[in-house]
Structure formats: C-alpha cells, structure tokens
Structure 1
C-alpha cells in the first residue's frame, strides 16, 4: 500500500455511515435538528436541555403529561406548557372553538350532507346561501374537496366563534390567517374549506379539514393542540386586530351575563370559589385570589339570579350553597334557548304578521321522534349538532304548536321541500305472514319450535323447503316473542 501523505489512506471497516468511535450510528442532520428541538422545547427558555422545569407559577399551565408528543403540534403544546397559555389571561379576546373528528366521513354521504347544510340558505350576511371558500379561492369546489377526502380515515370539523366577531372587518381573512398559522404549527399543508355564518347572535366560521397531510399520510393532530392551541392562535389574531380587552369592556361583558339562563363565566367563577360545599362571598381577597376579573358585586348579582331559579340559596349572611347539578341544568337551559331562537327565526323567515309571532309556550321540543304522529307544515331543517350530520325538523303543527324533532338522516328528508305537509311519527311494525303462523302455533302464549317442526313433518307434502330451516327462521328471542303476543292480545 502506498504510504505517501498525499495519496495514502487507511481503510476502516464497519457499517455504512458508522463513525467507528461513538459506538452507535451517526444521526442524520434532520434527525439531529429534531432531537435538539425536542430537547429545547421541553425546558424553560435559557436553560440547557435536560434541566429541571421551572417551578409552576400562579396562572401558568400544568406540566405536560406523558404521551402529549403524539400527533402534529406537540412541540407547540410543550412550549406553551412551560410558558403558559395566553388566551385565558386578562386582556386577550375570547374565542370559542368546537372541534370534532369524524371517522370515515367520506363514506355514506355524511361529509356531503355536512357541506350541503353549512351552505344552506339564510346563513350569509345578506340572508342568502352560504358561500364556501378556501385558502386561495373565494368559491371553493365542494365536489372536488369531497373527492380528495373520499378515502381519508377521518375528517376534522371545527366551529370558530370569536366573541367580538361582529366588530371584525373580515371574517374570511381571519380564517385564512388562522389556517396559515395552524399549517406552520403542524408542519404540513392542510386541505380545508370554510363557510361564514351570520344567522346567529354571534357570527362564526365552519371549517372542514380533510384527514391527510402533505405526505399522503393520515393527519394526526395533538389532542391538546385541538383543545387549546387552535383557540390560542385564534385569540392572538383577534386581539391583534381589535386590541386587548380593557377593564371597562370586560366588566360590561360580565354584567351582560348576570341575567342569562345558561352557564356563564360568572358561574364558573362561583364554582371555582366553593370550599367544603359552600361559598363565603364576604371572605376578603376573593377577587385577588381568583384572578378572573369577577368582582364581589358581580358574584352577588349572579347568586341572586341563581336563587330565583332555585339553583342557589343563602344559608347565612354571605354564605351560599349551590345546587349540585347547577352546571348541567344551566347548560341544558342554554341548549333549549338556542333551539327556541332557531324556531323563532324559522317562523320569522316565513313572513311577517301575527300568524308568525308565536308564544314560546306553544313550542314543543321533542327528545326523539314522538309515538303520536306530528302533522303540519315543514318550515325549517337544521343540523342538530353543527359538527355532525343529523338534522332537526321544525314543523308548524295543525294542533297549534310548533314542534322541534331531532335525529333525522339527511337522506330521509332530501326529497321533502320546506313548506310541504308532513307527518312525523314512530315507524309502525306491520304484521307479517310469519307472525300470524307463530300466533296460530302458540299454546297459552308459548311458541314451541319442536311442536312446530313435528307439524311441518306431518304436512311435509304441503311444505316448500326444508322444515328444519323454516323453523329456525321462525325462532324468536323469548322476550320479543312474549311482547309480540301481548301486542296481539291487546
């Protein structure tokens, strides 16, 4: 071998990309960057990787639990876990975000039904049909979007509702900025469409995201990013546009919640103040300890409202007890109030006049399809859950009531137009020939398959088919059979 300094070399046998000294494979540049990023994001700013986390301060987020690294956006969640979420802090604009992951949304027409109904008539600012848009177009092609997501394992659906949306200049621009920021946090392009809704007291945006990333893999988003991160980014954008919430503005918003028949921030503040099942409203330092901006006068005013509703009582001067089901009761009342408003809007859309101004006492809210049929004119249909596909129908009944009936598949009412006369009731069970045969073979309310088989064997020349297979088809669960006989005897 040539030992000249210019041309000489010494072979070093080993595996490919093995540096021969560290005892383990050498990391690629990308892997090394990712490892360093993970190490830095798990520690406070200015600390070296592996250092113990800083002690938790009041108002900071709790330490991140094990398993949070699953899904895109985990690094953003870890960073906020150390620095603390901004959107709950005073001064930041509130944004409500509801999200849902829908499995196999492209199968069975569910995704198409959802897109169709978030674009329904009356949702735009001028009362016309809602307009669907995307990242680069003001009129997105819904059919092409659905085709791209046909084979996706799941689909993401969101409702983003800024508290001060009516003051924002461009809800579409806000949505595009939010989705761009989400793409940066998640490290992938998102295939999405959105529709703005102005048919409620609070304008909001419906966003639908297909379930694949830019590599064609299943899009997996960290759960805490969905629950907190999206709201964080949306709150930052709204606060940037409208400025921080002032103390006077915040107090005015809280005052407006005193008389509401729904679960409010005041109720949350009261529940957080409970100790040993009671609230001591006169205890000094309550506002400073809570840090929620709810002063004593607001708490007392809300407690007086809850007392009139039967959800709170004063047991001693300054000592209050709240009903154990306060939150559930208020949330149910809020849902009923939303449905009532929807019914009022449906009646108003039919025209003006005394025939369309109904007393809410005439409204009938059904939990499911009633046994007694509801007959009347179909005046509206809307999504029971704005993130789902099931429809609720509003029917102006011939009994003088306005009925709200939930739980319909869109295919059931696709061919029925608003204004049509409908009859809604539980599906009737018709008597079949096999039912009459079973009733004839029963003795004292008991059907015995063995006796039925013997009878068929005797009449074998009249029977078409195998007698044993016929009897197996007649066998019913005992409970269902007894119920069937009781219905026949009744």
Structure 2
C-alpha cells in the first residue's frame, strides 16, 4: 500500500519564521557645533519625505504635533553633549499605524532601559518601505547596551509588528519570497542558494581552481513524512530556479547543465553593490534638476591622503539607510560624489558657503603633528549654474591649482578626445583644463626664455661692471707708477 505524506503534529506556538520582521539602526550624534541638531531635525522635516500632504510635523510619546528641529535644538541648547538616533523600519510599514506602533516600541524599550525616555520622531514615506526616524535625548544618564542596540530593539520592533498585524501567513511568506526573485540585490533566496554552492573544480589536473561556484537544484524527495514540508520544498525549488534565471539576466550566473548553474566569484558582493548603487541613485534623484549631466555615475568618495576632488556642489542630504549626512558634488571627473560631512563642511555650510552650484575643492592631507589625515575644504568663489554653464569662464587660478596638483601627484591630463565627448560641467572643465595646460606650457616656456634673457643681460652687465672696475683699477695703478 502506497504511503502518503502526513501533516505535522500541531505546534504549541508559531515558529519564529512566521513572526513579522523589522529593521532597527541605532547611532548617536555628538554636539560638535551650535545649531547642528536643529539642522538635522530640519532635514528630517523636509518637504516630500512624509506622505502626500504631510507638513513635516513630528510626534512624541504624548503629542501628535512636535517640531523635531526645535526639540533637538532645545536639547543641544540645554547643554546635552549627545543624542541617540533610531531608524525604525518594519517590513510591513505601509500596513501599520506608524505613530501608534512607534509609541509601543519605545514604551517597551523604555521598560527595558529602566528609565523614562524623552524622544521625538517623524515618519518618512519617501522610500520603498515606510520608516520612522526617532531622536532620543541621551542627557548624561542614559546608557543603551550593545544587547539592546544589536538585538533586543529589533526583536521588540518585530514583536510589536506581529501583535499589530498577526503572524505572517504562509501565503504572505511565499509572496515575499516571490518578490525577491527579480530584485537586483542580495536576497534571502540568495542566502539559501549560497548554502548549496560547491567550488567548481579545475578543468585539468594540476590547474588552479577557477574560483567560481556551482549549484545544482535537485528534485524534492516526495517520500518524506510530512506533506507540508514537501509542499514548502517544492515551492522553494521553484523559487530557487526562478532566482537563478534572474541572476543570469543580471549577469552573475550561467546555466551549464540541466539544473546546474555556475556563479561568478564574488557574485554575492556584486549583488550587494547593485543595491548600494540603487540607493545612491535614489538619493541622487533628489538633486537631479541641479545636475549638468544626469547620467553621472554616483559614487561614495573617501579621499585618501594626496587625493584631490574638484567639482560643483549639488546639495546636502542624509542617507536614510545609514542616517548619515553627506555633501553631494558633481565632480570634474564626470562622477557624482557622495562625501561624508566633516566638521569643516558643517562649519562652511553654517557660514553660508557650499551652496548648490558653487565650485569647491577637497583635498586630503596628513597632519605633521598628529600624523593623521584631515580634509581641506575650500570654496573656490565661483558659481556654475546647471543651465548655461558653458558661458562661465573658469579662472586660470583654479585650473593652475589643479595642474600643479596633477604634476605633484604624477597624474595625467584628461584625454583630449574623451574630454571632447564628455558632456556637462565635467566636459566643460576638462576642456578648459587641457587648453589652460597648453597656454601654461607656452607661458612657462616664455617665462623661462625671459628669465634666461634677464640672466644673460644681468651676466653681461656684471661683466661690463667688472671690466669698468678693472679699467679704473688699472688706470690708478698706471697713475701711481707715473708719480
């Protein structure tokens, strides 16, 4: 008699896999400069971050009408030296009342900390998943343990989402997994595939392994005890096959057999970089109207000692994923650079500098006293508009500084043909730099010739003076002999 799979015995409580998930990031911010926290709060209140019709109004444990910028500024003005910044992002944020949800999460965190928390928050709906930014007053007594920051806060947030919406159904879980199939990032399906990988052996004996990976998707064993397990494994197999086909389209996988795929070395890193690129592109979109070339590649830039960046400011902003502030620069190299804001950048912004369109230079050097790198940020005193930028003449002083840096660092000029084909401000700057290098070479040659002529003239004059002195001395000697 054929044996049919049976359903598993009932469980006492739903397993962890059915719980709702949430992402929580906790950082702290020091009070380095007056007005710093107010500026951070103002950015969180910016137009367009909340739901349509939102007016940048935050909330707290007891109020639905809170100014995040004024509250944060009041804390700093009172002498607080730091505050904690939370990013609370439940997976099903679009289905939650984020205000009520946040209050419940913070109440439980307050219980765990064992002391009252003073906080304010604002919800954002400008990303794929609605989330909440929370500022918590640290005062001098508040201490958040690593256990809370790294684990407990996330579990509390997930538990409150589960209480509000109930456990995830099998249908919801499978729908979430299906959504991962076409995503251009490293997903949960990829983690499952990663566990099945085996290193591809060398083609010939004695050769080094190629560094690639192989994965074979096998058939499901239908003779298992539990019917639901068979069904889940069948669904997982279908999803893994679909995901591998999607990875073929992305370009990190290749089908090499009936149910076997080869994955490139570093395929997982490539997927994570794709997600990072998507996040940068999303941030770049906020400044697109100010760009002279919207096709500029977004890159995160950290200058190493000796490196220099020249460009025009597009604006400042905050990475909602990391809660870190950045300065966005359309570089003379044709890239859009995200540069983490330093104290010097914040200081210049406070002085009304580094406005959109303004040309700047950033150069990393090493301190002679501390032997640590520091960033020199200089406003070049020239505004390059996003429209009509070719009509703005870039002063020789700016171009000469770049040429001198290139000479010192051993860097070559942009290729003339490539510069001719480059669009936007970068092309305008590169062509001006090349033309200036030609004129500068002529000027240097002319100056060298003039210097040589002057030196020859001075040498001739010195020789003539010496000859006259010798003549006078000889005359005196003759006169002395006559006497």
- 1:107 maps onto 2:32 in alignment: yes
Residue aligning to 1:195: 122
Deviations 1:194-249 (Å, cap 9, x if unpaired)?
Answer: 1111122211101122224xxx63x3333233222222222222222223222222
Count of matched residue pairs: 336
Deviations 1:118-155 (Å, cap 9, x if unpaired)?
Answer: 22222121365522321112233544545546655653
Q: Structure 1's 128 and 288: CA in aligned 2 closer, same or farther, altered over 3 A?
A: same
Residue aligning to 1:303: 244
Higher helix share: 2
- What CA distance in whole angstroms lies between the structure 2 residues aligned with 1:323 and 1:337? 21
Residue aligning to 1:173: 100
- 1:124 maps onto 2:50 in alignment: yes
Residue aligning to 1:225: 148
- What CA distance in whole angstroms lies between the structure 1 residues aligned with 2:364 and 2:171? 60
Residue aligning to 1:68: none
Q: Is the 8 A contact 2:109 2:153 kept in 1?
A: yes
Residue aligning to 1:262: 185
Q: Secondary structure at the match of 1:190?
A: coil
- In the alignment, which of 285, 305, 308 is matched to residue 344 of structure 1? 285
TM-score (norm 1): 0.57
What residue ranges of structure 1 are gaps of 5+ in the alignment? Answer: 1-82, 351-355, 430-479
- Give the 5 Å matches for 1:59-208: 89-102=16-29, 105-109=30-34, 110-126=36-52, 129-140=55-66, 142-148=69-75, 154-168=82-96, 170-208=97-135
Residue aligning to 1:35: none
Q: Secondary structure at the match of 1:122?
A: coil
Q: Structure 1's 252 and 227: CA in aligned 2 closer, same or farther, altered over 3 A?
A: same
What residue ranges of structure 2 are gaps of 5+ in the alignment? Answer: 1-11, 200-212, 223-227, 366-404, 413-440, 445-483
Q: Secondary structure at the match of 1:220?
A: coil
- 1:411 maps onto 2:329 in alignment: no
- What CA distance in whole angstroms lies between the structure 1 residues aligned with 2:327 and 2:274? 18
Q: Secondary structure at the match of 1:116?
A: helix
- Give how far 1:398 is off: 11
Max Rg structure: 2
Residue aligning to 2:216: 280
Q: Secondary structure at the match of 2:300?
A: coil
- What CA distance in whole angstroms lies between the structure 2 residues aligned with 1:292 and 1:146? 54
Q: Structure 1's 485 and 312: CA in aligned 2 closer, same or farther, altered over 3 A?
A: closer
Q: Is the 8 A contact 2:312 2:356 kept in 1?
A: no
TM-score (norm 2): 0.58
- Give the 5 Å matches for 1:335-414: 335-347=276-288, 362-368=295-301, 371=308, 373-375=310-312, 378=314, 380-384=315-319, 387-393=322-328, 403-408=336-341, 409-414=345-350
Deviations 1:339-370 (Å, cap 9, x if unpaired)?
Answer: 2123334447x8xxxxx9x996x133243389
Higher strand share: 2
Residue aligning to 2:358: 422
Q: Structure 1's 296 and 114: CA in aligned 2 closer, same or farther, altered over 3 A?
A: same
- Give how far 1:315 is off: 4.7
Deviations 1:61-104 (Å, cap 9, x if unpaired)?
Answer: xxxxxxxxxxxxxxxxxxxxxx99x8x823222212222244xx
